[in-house]
Structure 1
Amino acid sequence: MKNLKVIWVVFLMLLLTLSACSNSESTSGSSDGKVNLTWWSHDGPTFVKANKKFIKDYEAANPNVKINLQIYPYDAFVQKLKAAYASKNPPDMAQVFGSWVPEYTKNDLLSPVPDEMKDWVKSGFYEPALGAYTHDEVPYGIPQEYNIENGGVLANPDMFKNAGLDYPKTWDELITDAQKLTVTQNGKIQVKGFDFVNYDNITFTFLSLILQQKGEYWTKDNQVNFSTPEAVKAMDELKKFVTDYKVTNLRDFGGKLDTSDLFFKNKAAMVIRGPWSIAEGKENYQFEKLDYIPMPSFTENPPYFAAESGWGEIVAKSSKHQEEAWKFIKYMTEKENAKYFNITTFTVPANKEAAQDPEFLKALPKMKASIDVLPYGMFIGIIDTDFLKKTINDNFQLIAADKVSVEDGLKKIETTINQMLNK
Structure 2
Amino acid sequence: MSGPHPGRLSAVVLAAALALTACGGDDKGDGKTHLTFWDNNASPTVTPIWQKTITDFEAANPDIKVDYVGIPTAQVSQKYDTAIASNALPDVGAVTTAFLGNLTAQKALAPLDERLAGSPLNGKLSAPFLTLVKGATADGKLYELPLSGNVGTLWYRTDWFKDKNLKLDTWDDFYSAAGKLTDAKNNRFGFTIRGGAGSIAQMLEMVYGQSGVAEFFDASGKTTVNDPRNVAALERLVSLYKKATPAADVNNDYTKMVAQFDGGTIGVMQHNLGSSGDHKKALGGPDKVLGTTVPAAPGGGHVIVSNPVTGVGVFKSGKHQDAAWKFAEFASGADNSSHFNSSTGQIPANTDSAAAPWVSENPTLANAVKVMADPSTKVVQLPYYLPEFSAVTKTEAEPLFQKVLLGSLPAKDFLDQIATKLNDAQAKYKQRNGG
Q: d(CA) in 1 for partners of 2:404 and 2:227?
A: 17
List aligned pairs for 1:148-159, cutoff 5 A: 148-149=151-152, 152-159=153-160
1:29 is matched with which residue?
Answer: 27
Taking a change above 3 Å as real, the CA distance of residues 252 and 229 of structure 1, as seen in their structure-2 partners, is closer
1:51 is matched with which residue?
Answer: 50
1:202 aligns with 2:203: yes
List aligned pairs for 1:75-90, cutoff 5 A: 75-90=74-89
Q: d(CA) in 1 for partners of 2:175 and 2:24?
A: 58
Q: d(CA) in 2 for partners of 1:410 and 1:389?
A: 11
1:395 aligns with 2:400: yes
1:416 is matched with which residue?
Answer: 421
2:178 is matched with which residue?
Answer: 178
1:192 aligns with 2:196: no
Deviations 1:356-395 (A, max 9, x none): 3333222x33322222221323432334553353244433
> Which runs of 5 or more residues in structure 2 are unaligned?
1-19, 430-435
Q: d(CA) in 2 for partners of 1:98 and 1:174?
A: 30
Question: For structure 1, which segment, 123-132 or 38-47, has the greater mean C-alpha deviation from structure 2 after superposition?
Answer: 123-132
SS at match of 1:193: strand
Q: d(CA) in 2 for partners of 1:122 and 1:393?
A: 40
2:141 is matched with which residue?
Answer: 138
Question: For structure 1, which segment, 293-302 or 53-62, has the greater mean C-alpha deviation from structure 2 after superposition?
Answer: 293-302
1:407 is matched with which residue?
Answer: 412
1:147 aligns with 2:150: yes
SS at match of 2:266: coil
Shift of 1:124: 1.9
Shift of 1:167: 2.2
Q: d(CA) in 1 for partners of 2:412 and 2:229?
A: 12
Partners of 2:97 and 2:136 within 8 A in 1: yes
Shift of 1:342: 0.4
Aligned length: 390
Q: d(CA) in 1 for partners of 2:167 and 2:218?
A: 37
Taking a change above 3 Å as real, the CA distance of residues 230 and 31 of structure 1, as seen in their structure-2 partners, is same
2:249 is matched with which residue?
Answer: 252
Taking a change above 3 Å as real, the CA distance of residues 176 and 379 of structure 1, as seen in their structure-2 partners, is same
Partners of 2:23 and 2:90 within 8 A in 1: no
Shift of 1:350: 2.2
Question: For structure 1, which segment, 368-377 or 341-350, has the greater mean C-alpha deviation from structure 2 after superposition?
Answer: 368-377
Identity among equivalent pairs (%): 23
1:229 is matched with which residue?
Answer: 228
Taking a change above 3 Å as real, the CA distance of residues 367 and 208 of structure 1, as seen in their structure-2 partners, is same
2:73 is matched with which residue?
Answer: 74
SS at match of 2:65: strand
Deviations 1:174-212 (A, max 9, x none): 222221101122xxx8222123435241122123233x2
Shift of 1:267: 1.5
SS at match of 1:404: coil
Taking a change above 3 Å as real, the CA distance of residues 420 and 278 of structure 1, as seen in their structure-2 partners, is same
1:379 is matched with which residue?
Answer: 381
Partners of 2:134 and 2:141 within 8 A in 1: no
Taking a change above 3 Å as real, the CA distance of residues 24 and 242 of structure 1, as seen in their structure-2 partners, is closer
Which amino acid in structure 2 is aligned with residue 181 of structure 1? L
2:7 is matched with which residue?
Answer: none
Shift of 1:340: 1.3
Which amino acid in structure 2 is aligned with residue 91 of structure 1? P
Taking a change above 3 Å as real, the CA distance of residues 260 and 385 of structure 1, as seen in their structure-2 partners, is farther
> Bigger radius of gyration, 1 or 2?
1
Partners of 1:134 and 1:141 within 8 A in 2: no
Taking a change above 3 Å as real, the CA distance of residues 261 and 350 of structure 1, as seen in their structure-2 partners, is farther
Which amino acid in structure 1 is aligned with residue 94 of structure 2? Q
1:317 is matched with which residue?
Answer: 316
Which amino acid in structure 1 is aligned with residue 251 of structure 2? G
Which amino acid in structure 1 is aligned with residue 180 of structure 2? K
Which amino acid in structure 2 is aligned with residue 260 of structure 1? V
Partners of 1:264 and 1:287 within 8 A in 2: no
Partners of 1:101 and 1:132 within 8 A in 2: no
SS at match of 2:46: helix
Which amino acid in structure 2 is aligned with residue 142 of structure 1? L
1:13 is matched with which residue?
Answer: none
> Which runs of 5 or more residues in structure 1 are unaligned?
1-21
Taking a change above 3 Å as real, the CA distance of residues 346 and 215 of structure 1, as seen in their structure-2 partners, is closer
SS at match of 2:90: coil
